[in-house]
Structure formats: C-alpha cells, structure tokens
Structure 1
C-alpha cells in the first residue's frame, strides 16, 4: 500500500522543488540561533539551559571518556553493552550541550571547547554502538551505519550549518569529509545494502532520517541529493508499513518517539528545503500515528507500556507542538521541556527541536477535561483502552483506566503477553506491565523469553498445565468479541489457545474481560473470566484426578506490595486501591517477590500474585474435583479511591 505521495516523486520533481526552496531553508537553519537566544532568559526554559551547563562543567573539568577496545569488546565477549554505551553517550551529551550553548550564548571559550569535542567525535573509530557491529565485520565498522551513526551525522550536519560563521573552517571541512566517508559514500554513492532499509520499525526511520537530513544539508550534487531523498522515502515507507490504520505503535510510546520522531524531523527538513512542496506529513495515516500518545496516555504522564517501553516516557515537547500544529491533534499532557539528562542517549535532534518548536500555548489549552472519553480500540494492534473518573469526595476525582492487549508474539520488541492487562488508578499503573529489561546480547537472542520481562511469566496471564506462552507469529490473540457498554464500559473476548501449544490437554482457552466505570461512580469494576477446555488425558479414566500439570495458575503483576485477605488481595497505590476478589474455596494465593534490572540498569522489584486453582465450581456453584472438561475461572477486580 502506498502510504504517502513521496513514492511517486521523481528525481526531476525533487530537484526542482529543492532548487526552489533550498536557499531559504539553509538561511532559516542558520537563524535557528536566534530562536535559541530568545529562550535563554525565558523562565520556561531555565531548567533546560541549567541542565546543559552541568554537562559543560563536566566537559571543562573531567576527561572525555575513551571508547577503548577494552570497552568495545565487552559485548561480543560477555554480552554486556553498558560500559561502552555509557562512555559513548557521555561524549554525545557533552557535544550536544556545547553545540546548543554556543548557539544561544556564545563565547570564544565555549566555541573552542565545542571544536575540540567535534574533533574527538570525528576521530572515533566508528560512530556505531559496539552491539550493532555484526560479528566479524569490525574492520569495516567505520562505514557501518546504525541508529547512532545516523544520529551523529545529522547532529554534526545541523550543528555546522547553524554555527558555520562561528566554527573554524577546518572543523567544518573535517565534519563534511567524515560524513562523506562514513555515510554518503557507502549509502548513496556505492549503494551498499543495510538491513534497516526495509525494516518496518524504528530503525528504518531513524537511520534513513538521520542520514537523509545530513544529505539535505551537505550534498551539493543536486541529482545525488534527490536520489538520497528517494532512498530515504523508500525506507520511510517501509517504516510506515509497520503501522496499521489505527496509528498504533507495537513497540510502545518510547519507540513511537524515536521512530515517528525521526520520521517527522526528516519530513519537516524536507518541507523546509522544498518551500513546502515536498510534504511527507500530508497523508492521513500520519495523523493517526500522531494521535497515538494521546490514545494511550492514562493520566498524569503515565502511559500504557506494553513491549519495551516505560510507563513514564518523556515525550519531546517540540515534537508534540509540531504535530499539534500540523496534524491538529489534542495534547493531553502538561508542559514540560525535557532535560537532556532525562534522555539516556542525549539526542541532539530531540533537544534542539524542544527549543525550536515548543509552543507553550498548545499545552495551556491541553488541560485534561472531566470527560474521560469513550473506550478506544486500536484494531490493528488489538489494544483496548478505557478510562473513567471516580468520585473521591470533597469535589475530588481520581482517574482510573483499564487496558488489555491482543496482537501476536512476534511483534517488534515483542513480549509474550497476549491477554495481559493493566489497571491504572490515580496516576500510576497498579497492575502493571514490567516494561523493558536490561539490553544485553541475550535480550535479543534465541531463548529470550526466559528473561522475566519478556516471557509471559512476567505478565498478568496464566500458566496452563505448567506451560508459558510461546514465541512466534503463530501465537496470536484472536479477537472474538468487542463491545462498548453504555456509557463508558467495554467488554472484550480473546481466543488465546495458540499461545499455549505445549499445554498437553488444552483444546481451547478464551479470556473474557468486562470493564465498567459509570460517571460519578465510587468504584470501577473489571470482571475477568478465563474459560479452558480440555481433552481427556490418555490413560486416565473419566472422573479420576488429573495430574498436577492440569492445574491453572493465574498471575498478576504489580510494583506495589500486595496485602492478602481471607478471600482477596489488595494493592494500595498513592491515590487508588485495587482489590482482587476470589473464592477462597477454589484458589490458593501466594505472593512472590521478583528482583530484576530495568533498561537503565537500575534495580527493580515486582510482586507477582499467583492464584493456584485447586477446585473448580460446577454450574450450580458447588465445588468438585478438578476433573471436568471445562474450567471457568471467574475473578473480580475493583478500583476505589484511597
């Protein structure tokens, strides 16, 4: 499917459009300094500039971390990547800070420090992360292009175009020569093939977008520049193919920021350099994609975080402002200018545009209304989202929300989490998703589902006959039924049988969820029913006790330590309480403490509540031995203000 008109732009069309707009575009980029200077004494940006000055102080007083072979080799030798990447991103953080500080408040001392940093970046053996260099190809790492090589090229290209009247001409020539050798020659002149070029996830957008921006600014050959634009559009088309018409990002909001952010950054640079004629944000699907963060924002800056995403993501204020203007989307977050220190990768593209593009007026009009809105079904992702507001007394309200995930177990940054759900109350996900773990070699290798954050053992889904969900495209949640319940409720039903192919006697597994939170209510209710069908095991007569593997274990994940009651479990959040009600005659409950490490290498503690089914009720409500061919497990969750 053609996802934007750019696929039809010819070299002649691109060349003519850019001949018309390039001069004014480059002049506008040079004047970016004026916008940065205007914010220097603006209280809205005071924290942003103070944060950058902290990096500047480190650049003046501490040695720049070296990217040594000892650090480089760790990933291939041990699977660890943290030490190399800490040094790599510290170097980028200092360069980003000095580049922006020189633009906003220049001094000879700052310029010289910036030039030294540019020199050091230009002399790196490779601009790639060590984890992204294919094994055996270390000798050619200089001309390998990964996410961060592309980002480095874009950063340096934009920096020298904005500061070309301040920087030593020898530094400018060196930057141009390095980008030509590392990026333009292999990618555009020699037309080497890179795996990301046709990827349907963030790599295609970031890699092609970063390289494409550098090409727009630095390539002087008009025909080669137009060919570079065509190359970028092809990769951007591959990126958009990973989205359905619902605009949902299977990788989560963090990777939405990364992938669609760099799509937008290239699109706006191309529009700028073509006097508005070449517009990659004109297609309707980009409007749906732009709406994704608002669709999955629950309250108080907390998001649905399936896959490798965080609950609290820092969404670039510049990107939101630009998309609000271009796509007419509603911002439902308060204004916050992200600090460079809040981005572990210290990205120039985000930081610069947070100053250039942020429009505080867009956020002033974005205060959340009392209406939580109707439930949302992102059909292509198979995510259900419903919100509500609880009356908490004294004219106070508590925002609550529910989400459940379908999809399949071969998605980008996949977790085995079909049927997994989130319960949100008062600004926190009380029953939560674990998010991403520490990125190591094993995290992306075969057998990765053994890692707690990735496997179904780290999600609110059952263990069936001792088996967990399996990886792969064949493990799919089939949506059987979805219905909006008046006024703000929703019910959904999934067939999850294919996720448990190793369960020896399972023939069908259906998960049914029903959420209700009427306006003005004092509590919200989620009813969960898991329906299992079994075949008779060989060698066991009807009515005999089935072996231990036939048992069902329901898991529920939270960061909050639960409190056990006689027939319930309670998770007490800061502003809301979730209570699980169950029949104590049918279930045994157990709390497990899970200690792990998150994506940023920080320790995490989760609490996994396990309900062990020991008996199943017959339809009259009487309990009997667990020997039936059908098992219906019914559980009730309530959310109340604290």
Structure 2
C-alpha cells in the first residue's frame, strides 16, 4: 500500500532533510512551550520534580537471568521505570526551560546507553544464538519492541534538547547517535530475520507497527545521510505493507482493544511521522482500511473505561485517548473524536509510574491539549457529552458482534465472539459472551494476568484465564475447548434489526473429539423493547449420553443462588442482573476465586466468582433457554 503508492524516487523528492524536519518545537523555542496551559505544565512539573537527583534503578545480571530461571519478568518493571523517568524529565525541561532537569537527563541518557542490551529477557528468542545463554550478547544488538522504543526515546531527547545538552557536553548527544546507530539502525538495515518485519515468511502482528513507529522516529530524527535516510524509510514502508496486507478489511483486531493501542495505534504513529516528514505528501488517510482499523476502537467501547476484552485484553485497557482523538480527526470520524474527548481525563497524559513511555505520543498529546484549551476553553471541553454509541456492530472477519438496548450507556449491552482458538494472544473462548447493564459489568471476560514465561510458552493453557472453563462457556464430559486454529466456530450467523441482534454458532468444533460433542448450537440474542433481555438458546447433540455437562459463568459480584431457577448478580447503586433458568434441568453452585495477580486486581478487585450450572438431564440431546434481565438487587 505504501510502497505501491510512493516509490523510492518519489520518497526522495518529498522527504524533508533532517535539518528541516521539525515535528515539534524544541526546548529552545520558548514561545511555543510557554504557551502550554499552566494547569498542564503544573501537573507535569509535579511529576518531574520527583526525579530530580533520581537514583536510577539497577539492572542486575541476576534480574535478567530470572526470566530464564523462573519465568519472572521483574526486570521489565525496572527497565521501564528508567525510561519513564527519562521521558518525564525531558518533557519537564522543555516545559520549564531553566536547566533544572538537564543533569538528571544526562544521567538517564548514559544509564540507558551503558545497558548491555535494550532487548528484554523475554524477547531474546530474536537473538541468533543467545536465547539459551540467559544473558544478552553485547556483540549482537537485538531489535525488539523496547529496544526500538529506547532508540526513539533517545532520538527525541537529542532532537528536543541538543543545544542544551551540548552545553553540558557534546558527548551526550554524540553518544545517543552512536548507540542508536549501533543498536537500532544497523541491525534494522542489515537483518531481515526479525520475524516481526514480515520479510522471512512470518505473518506480522502488532510488533510490526509498534517497532516501526520507533525505528522510523530514530531514522527521521538522527540519520543525516539523506540517501540512507530514504533507503531506511523505504524499507520501513515495505515492512509496514506486509502488516497491512494481513489486516482484516473490517478493521477487526483479534488481539483486542488493549493491543489496538500498539497495533492500529502504532500504525497511526507511523503514518503521522511519514505525513509530517513529507509535509503531507505521504498520506494514506483516504484508504478505507486505514479508516476501519481506527474505527474498531470506538466499535468495542462499552462505556467509560470498559471495552470488549476478548483475548489477552483487559476490560479496562490503558488507552491513549489523545491518539484516538487525533486519529479520528485525521479520518474525519466523529465517533472517534467524541470517544477521545470523553476519555481525556487530563489535558494530556503524565507519567504515572507504571506505563510504557511513548515520548512521541506525549508530545502530540500536550500539543492537542493546548490546542483544545486555546480553541474551545476548558469549561466547554469538560462539558462534552458522552460519545454516541451505535446500537449494533458486526466484525465479520473476527466474528465479534456487539449490541445495545439503547444508543447510550443505559440498559443492556451484549458482545459475543466466534472465531478460532489460534488467534494472536489467543484464549480458548469460542462462543464467549459478556453482558453489561448501564455500563457496569455483570457477566465478564476475566482478561489476562501479568505476563510471565508461561504466558507465551508451552504452559500457556495451564493458566486459568486462558481456559474456556473460566469463560462463559460449557465443559462437556470434563473437557474444555482446545487451542489451535483448527478448533473454530462453525456455521456462524449474525442478524440485527430494530428489535434486536443475535449471533448463532456451533461450538462443537472448538472441543476435542473426546468430549463426544456432535453439535452445540449456541444462539445469543439481545431483545430490545420495554422489557429488554438477553436470551441464550442452546441445542446440543452428543455422541452418546454425556456423563457431565456444565455451563460456566464468570461474574465480578457475589451471586445469590437462594432461589431455584434464578441467579441474582448484584451491582452498584441497586443495580442487579437476573439469570433465569429451568431448575428442573440445572443445579447451580458458585465458587469464589481469590485474585492475587496485580493486573487483575486493578480491574476486578480481590475476588471473582464462577457459577457452575450442571445439567441434570442425561440424554444424547438437550436444549434449553436462559434469560438474562435487569432487576433490582434483592428481587
């Protein structure tokens, strides 16, 4: 798509020389930085002052080795703290301009430049020979997600603060250029076997735009040889084309909204950099695929912080709402701009001690916040109505439907998933569905714990959150679903009209032959109207008489099973959901699941609950209907 539209010769004619590439004002452009609103400046400086005289965390060999020894990713946290601290200090020096932060910035630059490797221990499989050694080989720089991110962070630091750092010592920025060149630009230019590039036959995923957004920034900001700068940019565009070639035409992200941030979101970073570096000559925003990839995030927004979170996603993903707004503005999509505005709790994000620091996005977010405050005034901005929600959504390639009772947050919300069990960041979850009421979760998708060696290793499906038994799915004869692309939904049907929406699919193909399952036709429907409800209809055929059939339901509140045929799920402010089932067919029980993982606790608190409905009928076939309605707590 990119290289088809823009040849190397055309790129050479439109790519701005490095001296003319000015995507943001440097720290010496004081009028631009002084125009940043005081409220935003104060919030950043408050965070940055905590890093004055900062004691940079040590990264020990034993920390790096811990991943190979125990699967621990503690090293990653210390690694990210260093980068977030440096990024925050850089922004604060630009905002204040008094030199208070420069020594600590120089310290941070040298701390990063003296690391043996910028590649994380968990990604050493990218090394040609060092994966089994436990430590990184300094003679073989590896470009993973965070090596590329580090390169970009340092490149932006040099761009913004070159003259000021030179007054400390010209060696600071010279060191940046040496290390970014050696660790990022040379291996990127000379190797084609990093799988995420897509050059060696491996289908790329979010790693491709994520890495490229950072490699591209380093190239555009640091490379002074214009011929090499064009060659590297063209190579990046060629690799991005391989990513675009495998994206679904409907824009569906099978990795979920958490990864949309670094999939379509990082692709947008790449497109913005190319747009800015060519004065708008490289522009793909008219392409339908680029529009659809962006619009996905609005389609899976439930309300507020909650999103449809199938796969390795969090129900409350950390999203860059300024990016969502900017993307929406580029493609002229009001649902994205409204979502972006509603999500911008502050004028722009500030370092909060725990997230990956994308300095390019922070700079763009600061500029956007200043623009909004100047052009519209904070009083008007803060009174923005919540985004308008579409009643129905259907992503046919990843087989995800969404439906609302109303076109606002009130009432019932339903999302259902088909697909297969070999997706990127897969969970065994064919037929999974979630139900929210008034924007509050009731029947949930748990999400994923903090990553460890098991997460992407042979023990992935030993982790409880990956198993279908901890989704809103059945277990048949003691068997859960099986991982692999061959295990998929069959005969998927989606329908929607003004009265409701429904999805029907056969789950039998997601289970191993030992389950003895010939057909499991699941139909999940949202019925609109004065007495709206969600209806689950199931028809099953077994190879023989099953020994056990259990329906699992995951919920975040303690269920009340005191009345036969009804499960009450309590919510906030008197809300409740009722599951109405045939007590002659099912016996219901519930178990509490104590949550120790910090990532899950941040979303759900310290406990979740699994309801298990066991089928009492012993027959080669069975069918039933379960209805889910809103109701008041205690009724």
Q: TM-score, normalised by structure 2?
A: 0.89
In the alignment, structure 1 residue 612 sits paired with structure 2 residue 614:
yes
Q: Distance in 2 between matches of 1:492 and 1:233?
A: 38
- SS of 1:164's equivalent in the other structure is helix
CA RMSD, Structure 1 to Structure 2 (Å): 2.5
Between the two proteins, the alignment pairs up a number of residues equal to: 600
Residue by residue, what CA displacement relative to the aligned partner does 1:7-40 show, whole Å, maximum 9, x if unpaired? 4422221111114x65543375537965872465
The residue aligned with 2:171 is 170
Given candidates 293, 299, 308, the residue that maps to 2:297 is 293
Q: Per the alignment, in what secondary structure is the counterpart of residue 193 of structure 1?
A: coil
Indicate whether 1:268 and 2:272 are aligned: yes
Describe the shift of the 1:141–1:563 C-alpha distance in structure 2 as closer, same or farther (beyond 3 A).
farther
Q: Indicate which of 117, 121, 126 corresponds to 2:112.
A: 121
For residues 47-66 of structure 1, the aligned pairs below 5 Å read 49-50=42-43, 53-57=46-50, 59-60=51-52, 62-66=54-58
Q: Which residue of 2 aligns with 1:203?
A: 207
In the alignment, which residue of structure 2 is the partner of 1:469?
481
Q: Deviations over 1:88-124 (max 9, x none)?
A: 1111121011010011112223111111111111111
Work out the CA distance in 2 between the residues paired with 1:481 and 1:32.
60
Matched residue of 1:453: which SS?
helix
Q: CA deviation at 1:321?
A: 2.3
Match status 1:6 vs 2:10: no
Query: Relative to 1, partners in 2 of residues 1:27 and 1:572: Cα closer, same or farther, differing over 3 Å?
Result: closer
Give the 3 Å change call, closer, same or farther, for CA 10–373 of structure 1 in structure 2: closer
The answer for the alignment partner of 1:424 in structure 2 is 436
Alignment partner, residue 72 of structure 2:
80
Shift of 1:526: 0.9
Superposition pairs for residues 271-420 of structure 1, below 5 Å?
271-329=275-333, 330=335, 331-333=337-339, 334=342, 335-337=344-346, 338-341=349-352, 343-358=354-369, 360=372, 367-368=385-386, 372-389=389-406, 398-420=410-432
How far did residue 142 of structure 1 move? Answer: 5.4
Range 219-228 or range 167-176, more displaced: 219-228
Q: Which moved more, 1:190-199 or 1:440-449?
A: 190-199
Match of 1:147 among 145, 150, 153: 145
Question: Which residue in the other structure is 2:124 paired with?
Answer: 133
Q: Distance in 2 between matches of 1:479 and 1:60?
A: 61
Q: CA deviation at 1:62?
A: 4.8
* Equivalent residues of 1:533, 1:631 under 8 A apart: yes
Q: Structure 1 length normalisation: TM-score? A: 0.88
Contact 1:466 1:503 in 2 (8 A): no
Equivalent residues of 2:116, 2:138 under 8 A apart = no
Q: Deviations over 1:441-499 (max 9, x none)?
A: 11111241121111111100000111000000011113432211324x10110011110
Q: Distance in 1 between matches of 2:222 and 2:157?
A: 12
- Alignment CA distance shift 1:486-1:297 (3 Å): same
User: Which moved further from structure 2: 336-345 or 152-161?
Assistant: 336-345
Q: Distance in 1 between matches of 2:100 and 2:28?
A: 21
Equivalent position to 1:513, from 520, 524, 545: 524
Closer, same or farther in 2 for the Cα pair 1:117/1:5, shift >3 Å?
A: closer
3-state SS of paired residue (1:74): helix
Alignment-derived partner of residue 621 in structure 1: none
Query: C-alpha distance in 1, partners of 2:391/2:155?
Result: 45
1:590 aligned residue: 589
Question: For 2:466, what is the secondary structure of its paired residue?
Answer: coil
Q: State the match for 2:21 in structure 1.
A: 25
Q: Is the 8 A contact 2:3 2:237 kept in 1?
A: yes
Instruction: Confirm whether residue 450 of structure 1 aligns to residue 449 of structure 2.
Output: no
**Retained in 2: the 8 A contact 1:33–1:162?**
no
Structure 2 distance, partners of 1:126, 1:113, is 21
**Partner SS, residue 139 of structure 1:** coil
Structure-1 residue corresponding to 2:538: 530
Q: Does 1:630 align with 2:621?
A: yes
Deviation at 1:192, TM superposition (A): 4.6
Shift of 1:224: 1.6
Is the CA contact (8 Å cut-off) linking 2:2 and 2:237 kept in structure 1?
Answer: no
Of 239, 245, 248, the match for 2:249: 245
Residue 117 to residue 23, structure 1, CA distance change in 2 (3 Å): closer
Give the direction of change, closer, same or farther, for the CA distance of 1:282–1:35 in structure 2 (3 Å limit).
Answer: farther
Q: Tell me the residue number matched to 1:620.
A: none
In the alignment, the residues of structure 1 paired with residue 155 and residue 590 of structure 2 have an alpha-carbon distance, to the nearest angstrom, of: 54
Give unpaired runs (5+ residues) of structure 2: 126-130
1: distance between equivalents of 2:139 and 2:454?
A: 22
CA displacement, residues 64-109 of structure 1 (integer Å, 9 cap, x when unaligned) = 111110101000001111x211211111121011010011112223
Native 8 Å contact 1:390 1:640 kept in 2: no
Is 1:55–1:93's contact at 8 Å kept on the other side of the alignment? Answer: no
Q: Please tell me whether residue 482 in structure 1 is matched to residue 484 in structure 2.
A: no
Distance in 1 between residues matched to 2:226 and 2:389, nearest whole Å: 51
Are the structure 2 counterparts of residues 27 and 60 from structure 1 closer, same or farther at C-alpha, using a change threshold of 3 Å?
closer
Match of 1:235, SS state, is helix
Checking the alignment, whether the CA contact within 8 Å between 1:409 and 1:418 is kept in structure 2 is: yes
Q: 1:368 to 1:35 in 2, by over 3 A?
A: farther
C-alpha distance in 1, partners of 2:478/2:24?
Answer: 63
1:307: how far off? 1.2
Q: 1:475 to 1:372 in 2, by over 3 A?
A: same
**Closer, same or farther: CA 445–363 of 1 in aligned 2, 3 Å:** farther
**Hey, what's the Cα distance between the residues in 1 that align with 2:411 and 2:30?**
41
Counterpart for residue 128 of structure 2: none
| Separation in 2, partners of 1:32, 1:384 | 50
Separation (CA, whole Å) in 2 of partners of 1:149 and 1:320: 25
